[in-house]
Amino acid sequence: MANLLDRLPPEFGTVPYNGAAIPDGSHDLTAGANCQRFAYAVLAHFGLSLPPWWSSELWQDTALTIVVTTFEPLDLLLFNRTDEPFGAHLGVYAGQGGVLHLAKSVGIPAIWPVVEFARRDDYRVLVGGKRVLQ
């Protein structure tokens, strides 16, 4: 798969991190986004939609998503300080070991190798992956 960020419209690559731009059902990124809003907008671009769930709600869901341990492009990955899904950072698996995400520490979307998250205190634990059933 080509770099997931390259398959998105150019404006996806410049979305600024905005912790106040939380998931609300809109995929408008003009005012920036937090990690969840950004991830849901990426999925929506590829025809996959989910409610504006917080990470813990996403993790608990069994109707629209399933837990996966082998990741495919467009799977959602949750990272946190602990194995708790509450407050987890959300990214989109981009293939070839990379995760597209929007983090405050970077400021704009980036693709990191999965192993890079383990090096960061805030993201050191991979809570798990979820695949949208559509």
Looking at residue 40, which CATH number applies to its domain? 3.90.1720.10
pLDDT band at 5, cuts 50/70/90? confident
66-85 per-position pLDDT tens digit: 999 999 999 999 999 999 99
> In this model, does residue 48 exceed pLDDT 70?
yes
% residues pLDDT > 90 (the chain): 94
DSSP 8-state assignment for residue 25: S
Q: What is the mean pLDDT of residues 19-32?
A: 95
How far is it, in rounded angstroms, from Cα 69 to Cα 2?
Answer: 22
Q: Extract the runs of DSSP E, i.e. beta strands, from the chain.
A: 65-68, 76-80, 89-95, 98-101, 110-113, 125-132
Output phi, psi for 57, to 5 deg. Answer: -70, -40
The range of the structural domain enclosing residue 96 comes to 4-132
Is the Cβ–Cβ distance between 110 and 123 less than 8 Å? no
SS3 state of residue 12 = helix
DSSP 8-state assignment for residue 24: S
90-123 per-position pLDDT tens digit: 999 999 999 999 999 999 999 999 999 999 999 9
Mean pLDDT score across all residues of the chain: 95
Q: How many domains does the chain have?
A: 1
Cα R_g (the chain), whole angstroms: 13
- Location of structure tokens 């590829």: 46
Helical segments of 33-103, H only:
35-45, 55-60
> In this model, does residue 3 exceed pLDDT 90?
no
Is the Cβ–Cβ distance between 51 and 60 less than 8 Å? no
Is the Cβ–Cβ distance between 27 and 44 less than 8 Å? yes
pLDDT band at 1, cuts 50/70/90? very low
Q: What is the mean pLDDT of residues 2-8?
A: 81
> In this model, does residue 64 exceed pLDDT 90?
yes
